[in-house]
Structure formats: structure tokens, C-alpha cells
Amino acid sequence: MQNRRLLKISAVLALAAVLLTGCGIIKEETNETDILMGTVFSVKYTTEGAGKGQKLWNELEQTGTNLDDKILSWRSEEAEIAKINASAGSEEGYPVSEELEKYLAECIEVSERTGGAFDITLGSLTQLWNIDEKALVGEGNIPSDEEIAKALDCSGYKKIRLEDHRIYLPEGLGLDMGAVGKGIYLQKAKDILEDKALQATVSAGGSILLCREDGVFWRVGIVDPFNPSQVYGTIKGRGNAYISTSGDYERFFFADGEKYHHILDSKTGFPADSGIKSVTIVMNTDYEMNGLISDALSTAVFVLGEELGVLHAKRYGAEVLIIRNDGSYYATDKMQSMLEID
Ligand code: AMP
Ligand code: MG
């Protein structure tokens, strides 16, 4: 993350439009883009009162940087997750902040409910595959069966314990919050924007937060997983929502002509191969953890496949769109009513 500042300078596109309403209240429209948490973030919202839009953006940026650097990253030494991973094997465990404890408890519950299809304890496996770096080059090696078996041996949500504000990890186990970081950020963004901005949209990689006044519509394009610069279709909805998409086009590399992507199946230790190209989950914002859950579910459904995945997602009240390997799609009933396919 050392070159984040450089990325920032090149990626920040600021555009603030100032409008004066009939009763003299200044309305500002803010559009910003930045690289945060290793992914492209963009926001769009309206604020009332001069200078408020920029102040809010500063707060949103700082919140993303702090969340990654101080809590969720396994790469940044200062982050709680990195410190917890370094404590693996210790009998005393490691103390967790109140905030992280809430996220971990929810993650463990989703792991239990999805039978480990979503599992934050796959750190050794994700580091072994190291797909983030191989994706930058486009090619790389496949770990050996022995290496995969060893990484799986020290993975598994059942092996960790969260008790009395402490977490206990066995030797060799590493936490990886990569599948839920953006969803967690969106929960925080919602709290920041709720009373201060109108018609806000925050997009963080494959996860989106929409905050709209009652009855106001939004439309969101769903990436075509076969051609990611194109849109497969559009989802139209109202009010507040979290939308999370996981797909095999996001991070991948090739080895011996085969594609290896970043969503791993804890049963095989290999990239999930369930007949799915991408999964989109839509949830309301009623429960404070729905940002995290929608992000976790898009990953879990991708691993579980259509039948089981939809069953689990529906239990959370989530709407699901699955684009299959053959290009056809499945949508839950309400999702179907929100969909316009191009
Ligand atoms: P997402 O793009 O939200 O589906 O998250 C994928 C990221 O989560 C990967 O880059 C890994 O860091 C991590 N990950 C991969 N497979 C899993 C899994 N089965 N459960 C939880 N996290 C995973
Ligand atoms: Mg996810």
C-alpha cells in the first residue's frame, strides 16, 4: 500500500457543482474518485450549505484509510487483523476492539450458516495463491497439492474462538477480511452520509451503497462478467440498498492456459468452480450489518453454486442475480422485477 499516495494523486477527480435553490440555500453536488483499500472508490451526493460536500468527502476518505490501515488489513502491521494473525498459536489469544469484535462475530455467524463457503480463516490459502499479485502480471504458478493441503489444514472457522473480547487462533491460521472489507466500509459510509447528504451513491470495487429519500429511484449497471467493460443489465430500485457483486473477472491469472480467479473454495483449496461467472446480492439497510452480510453472501453464493447459494441468501432476505457460465441468468422473483437485461 506504499504507493497509495501516488495512486491518490493520479486518481482523484474532483467535481463539485454548486446550485443555488429558490430559497437561497446552496446545494452542492459532489463527485469524487480515489483509490482506497486497494480498490477504486467513487462517491456522488448532494449537500446543503457551502463547503459541506468537500468536508464530507474528506471524512469518507479518512474513514476508508483508517478502516484498512488500523483494523482490517493483514498487510499493514499496525492493523488489528495483522496483529491478531501474528498472535496465532498464543494461548492468551489477542484482545479485539469492540468494533472489530462485532464484525468478527457476524463473519463467524455467516461462516456457520453457509457451511464455510464464506470463511475469513482462509488467510494461509489466499496468501499461498497470492492471486492479487499474479493478477497484476496475468500469469503465475499453481501451488502444489501438498502446499494446498497444508494451508487448508490450518484454516477453518471452527478452529478459531472469539470469547470475552479476545480471539484465539491456532498456529499457522490467518484471518483474511478481503471478502467483507468493502461491505463494512459501506456501513460506515451510510452512518456518515445519512443525515448529512441527499441522494448518495458510494461505490467501492464491486460493492455499492445507495441512500435515497423515500420513493426516490436508483439504477445500477451490472458488469457483464464476459466483457467487464460492458453492462449485462440494469437493476432499478428505491430507497436505501446495499449491492454487492463477486465475479471471476475481478482478479485472476492464467497458468497452462487455465484461468484461476480469487474466490476460493475451502473444500478443495482451489478457485470455486460452481458454474457461476458472477453473483449480485441486493439487501436493504435496515440491519446495521447488512453491508457486511451482502458482501459475504456474494462470495458465499459464488462458492456454493446456484441451488444452495440462493437458499442461504434467501434466509437473509437477500435478492440474488446469478450469471451462469453459459451466459444465462437466474434471478429471485423480486430481483427479476427490478431487472432490465440489455
Ligand atoms: P469478493 O470479491 O468480495 O468475493 O472477495 C474475495 C476476496 O475474499 C479474495 O480476494 C480473498 O481475499 C477472500 N476470499 C477468497 N475466497 C474466500 C472465501 N471462500 N471466503 C471468504 N473470503 C474469501
Ligand atoms: Mg464479498
Question: Which residues fall within 8 angstroms of residue 133, CB to CB, at 6 or more apart?
Answer: 140
User: Quick one: average pLDDT of 255-277?
Assistant: 97
| Alpha carbon nearest to ligand 1 atom 5, residue | 179
pLDDT of residue 16 exceeding 70, the answer is no
**Residue 292, ligand 1, Cβ within 6 A:** no
User: Quick one: average pLDDT of 327-340?
Assistant: 98
Q: Which atom of ligand 1 is nearest to the CA of 182?
A: 3
- CA–CA distance, 125 with 151 (Å, rounded to integer): 5
Task: Write down the pLDDT at residue 184.
Answer: 98
Reported as a single tens digit per residue, the pLDDT across 268-314 is 999 999 999 999 999 999 999 999 999 999 999 999 999 999 999 99
**Residue 85, ligand 1, Cβ within 6 A:** no
Q: How far is the CA of 296 from the centre of ligand 2 (A)?
A: 5
pLDDT of residue 178 exceeding 80, the answer is yes
The angle, 0 to 180 degrees and rounded to 10, between the axes of the packed helices 290-304 and 306-315 is: 160
**Residue 67, ligand 1, Cβ within 6 A:** no
pLDDT of residue 18 exceeding 90, the answer is no
Question: Which residues fall within 8 angstroms of residue 5, CB to CB, at 6 or more apart?
Answer: none
| Alpha carbon nearest to ligand 1 atom 3, residue | 179
In the 8-state DSSP scheme, what is residue 158?
G
User: In this structure, which ligand is nearest to the CA of 120?
Assistant: 1
pLDDT of residue 77 exceeding 80, the answer is yes
Task: Give 17's pLDDT tier (boundaries 50, 70, 90).
Answer: low
pLDDT of residue 36 exceeding 90, the answer is no
Largest CA distance in the chain: 70
Please identify which residue in the block is written with the cell numbers 434467501.
Answer: 314
Mean pLDDT of the chain: 93
Coil vs helix vs strand at 247: strand
**Residue 155, ligand 1, Cβ within 6 A:** no
Q: Which atom of ligand 1 is nearest to the CA of 205?
A: 2
Cα angle 61, 37, 255; round to 5:
155
Q: How far is the CA of 23 from the centre of ligand 2 (A)?
A: 44
Q: Which atom of ligand 1 is nearest to the CA of 246?
A: 4
pLDDT of residue 6 exceeding 80, the answer is no
**Residue 118, ligand 1, Cβ within 6 A:** yes
**Residue 264, ligand 1, Cβ within 6 A:** yes
**Residue 278, ligand 1, Cβ within 6 A:** no
**Residue 245, ligand 1, Cβ within 6 A:** no
153, containing H or E segment: helix 145-153
User: Which phi and psi (to 5°) does residue 172 adopt?
Assistant: 90, -15
pLDDT of residue 219 exceeding 80, the answer is yes
In the 8-state DSSP scheme, what is residue 264?
B
**Residue 263, ligand 1, Cβ within 6 A:** yes
**Residue 176, ligand 1, Cβ within 6 A:** yes
For residue 73, give the C-alpha cell.
488489513
The angle, 0 to 180 degrees and rounded to 10, between the axes of the packed helices 98-113 and 290-304 is: 30
| Alpha carbon nearest to ligand 1 atom 11, residue | 178
Q: How far is the CA of 145 from the centre of ligand 1 (A)?
A: 20
| pTM score, whole prediction | 0.93
293, containing H or E segment: helix 290-304
Cβ proximity of 222 and 234 under 8 Å? yes
% pLDDT > 70, the chain: 93
Task: Write down the pLDDT at residue 8.
Answer: 40
**Residue 262, ligand 1, Cβ within 6 A:** yes
**Residue 129, ligand 1, Cβ within 6 A:** no
Given ligand 1 and candidates 133, 262, 276, 280, which is best to mutate, with the most ligand atoms within 8 Å of its CB?
262
